[in-house]
Amino acid sequence: MTAAFDQPTITDAARRLRAGELSATELTRAALARAAARAADLHAFITVAEEAALRDAAASDARLRAGKPAGALEGIPIAIKDVIATAGIRTTAGSRILADFVPPYDATVTARLRAAGAVIVGKTNCDEFAMGSSNENSAFGPARNPWDVTRVPGGSSGGSAVAVAASLALGSLGTDTGGSIRLPASYCGVVGMKPTYGRVSRYGVIAYASSLDQVGPFARDVTDCALLLGVLAGHDARDSTSVERAVPDYGDALAGGAKGLRIAIPGEYFVEGMEPDVERAVQSAVETLGGLGAQIGSVSLPHTEYAVSAYYVVATAEASSNLARYDGVRYGSRVDGDGTLLEMYRRTRAAGFGDEVKRRIMLGTYALSAGYYDAYYLKAQRVRTLILNDFARVFQDADVIVTPTAPTTAFRLGEKVADPLQMYLSDIFTISVNLAGLPAISLPCGIDAAGLPIGLQIIGPPFGEELVLRAARAYEAATDWHTRRPPAPGGSR
């Protein structure tokens, strides 16, 4: 069974399913077996939906045998980050306060996966309410990096990246508020994409920062990423931020090649403290793209240095508002006892939220409070506009921007937990993209001296996913980094 599951891509597995060489049930059983075998060392899943997955796989097999039109993801095992609603499957957001919450409905992205024939194998581990860069803030314990289980997988969508990297699913969904898809993709050696804000519906996604959150896919290669994005993208009337814009065939963009692409390299993304192996790998990737016919030019994004500060004001302010609904009254956990309603709120939130969530609620509440709103929140929004304008200026003369995804490879578990500021700086190269609402992808571009993957980030203009995917596929086709796999189970360096 396990051997049957070892397919390199969704595309190849789909071909074999349609040819009758493999069944969805075999594929799903193998995925579930691998998830069970690696539950202890990787902890990629919070909830495994074995019964529902096998039922859905059997339904896919029946459709395939009957010769009915196959969905784009017919019979393909997919994992979903645990902040995305799944009808009948527990959705915790990695938090004690939602430990027993079972949604009565699907998020739009979940419904679109199901409509495409995907088999949902489970809900992946994540930082609580998607607040974190390492997956160490999960109330259920951290996920671990399959390249070295003593290291973090990145956050907040760490479990989704681990599931793909360790072959526990052929694809997965994450959310990206400040780098939460791209950072885990970089650390785990897979492809992860954050679409343009408004391209993919947020309906049914448990909110962290509503003006920044965006759902996106993880996959083993760019072709699979484009396929998943095509399933997810499109207008949704239930999401007021969803954009009414036609969805192109992202697969068509993959054959364009790098020739003629205008690629900008911002000096602000090559900073002091970056690991030398990361800088060398990214510079080599830029040279590869140039050798493929891309036009390479240096640019400046001068307000980049203010991005982290602006982000942690805007994001925490929105988080403090979004998380006010978890009060022990309407849904979620409640801590009963003597006293007033206010005391019940305090007990419930004190027990239900972890330290990082409490920290961000307090920061956000302070930034929005009387006397400080203009000094912090309003100023951060102004800086956000300056960052957006920087990108708009560059995209007048460039098709895409290429940078490192992160300044380092995956760090060790516990290394930065006691220093939130150092943890926040892990997202230094990804945060600006969210503030500007742009599409961006991370794909493998090297391995460091410790044997850990390095990520290349490609950023596009608004709704420029086709350009991003085109550049990413051109680089991927000329290299083999995306074919590298983590060591056998049990290995650590």
Q: Where are the domains of the chain?
A: 2-264+397-479
Tell me the pLDDT tens digit for each residue of 133-144. Answer: 999 999 999 999
In 3D, which of 406, 409, 452 has the Cα closest to residue 430? 406
Q: What backbone torsions phi and psi does residue 441 show, to the nearest 5 degrees?
A: -130, 150
Average pLDDT, the chain: 95
Active site residues: 81, 156, 180
Residue 402 backbone phi and psi in degrees, to 5: -115, 130
pLDDT at 165 over 80: yes
State the pLDDT at residue 278: 98
Confidence of residue 470 (pLDDT cuts 50, 70, 90): very high
DSSP 325-362: G-SSSSSS-----SS-HHHHHHHHHHHHS-HHHHHHHH
Token couple for 184? 């885990």
The pLDDT of residue 23 is 97
pLDDT of residue 272: 82
Q: What is the CA radius of gyration of the chain?
A: 21
Q: Does domain 2-264+397-479 have CATH number 3.90.1300.10?
A: yes
DSSP 440: E
Residue-level pLDDT at 82: 98
Residue 457: the pLDDT is 98
pLDDT number for residue 490: 61
**Two structure tokens written together for 414:** 């516990």
Per-residue pLDDT reduced to its tens digit, 70-124: 999 999 999 999 999 999 999 999 999 999 999 999 999 999 999 999 999 999 9
Beta-carbon count within 10 A of 51 CB: 8
Residue 7's pLDDT band (cuts 50, 70, 90): low
pTM of the full structure: 0.96
Give burial (CB, 10 Å; 0-12/13-18/19+) of 90.
middle
- In the three-class reduction of DSSP (H, G, I as helix; E, B as strand; rest coil), residue 412 is classed as strand
What is the rounded distance in angstroms from the CA atom of residue 70 to the CA atom of residue 335?
48
141-155, 160-174, 417-431, 472-486: the lowest-pLDDT one: 417-431
d(C-alpha 444, C-alpha 316), whole Å: 30
Question: For residue range 215-241, what is the model confidence (pLDDT) as tens digits?
Answer: 999 999 999 999 999 999 999 999 999
Report yes or no: 78 and 84 within 8 Å, Cβ to Cβ: no
Beta strands in 114-190 (DSSP E): 119-124, 171-175
By the 8 A CB rule, do 66 and 6 touch?
A: no
Above 60 in pLDDT, residue 1? no
* Residue 5 clears pLDDT 80, i.e. is over it: no
Q: What is the pLDDT of residues 331-350, one digit of tens each?
A: 889 998 888 999 999 999 99
What's the pLDDT at 6?
61
Report strand pairing: 262-266 vs 400-404: parallel
Q: Nearest Cα to 82, choosing from 41, 119, 49?
A: 49
* Mean pLDDT on 442-465: 98
Determine what percent of the chain is predicted with pLDDT higher than 90.
92
Lowest average pLDDT, out of 269-283, 383-397, 432-446, goes to 269-283
How does pLDDT run across 364-416, given as a tens digit for each residue?
999 999 889 999 999 999 999 999 999 999 999 999 999 999 999 999 999 99
Asked if residue 281 lies in contact with residue 454, where contact means CB atoms within 8 angstroms, the answer is: yes
For range 285-306, the mean pLDDT: 98
- The model's pLDDT over 8-53, given as tens digits with 9 standing for 90+, comes to 699 999 999 999 999 999 999 999 999 999 999 999 999 999 999 9
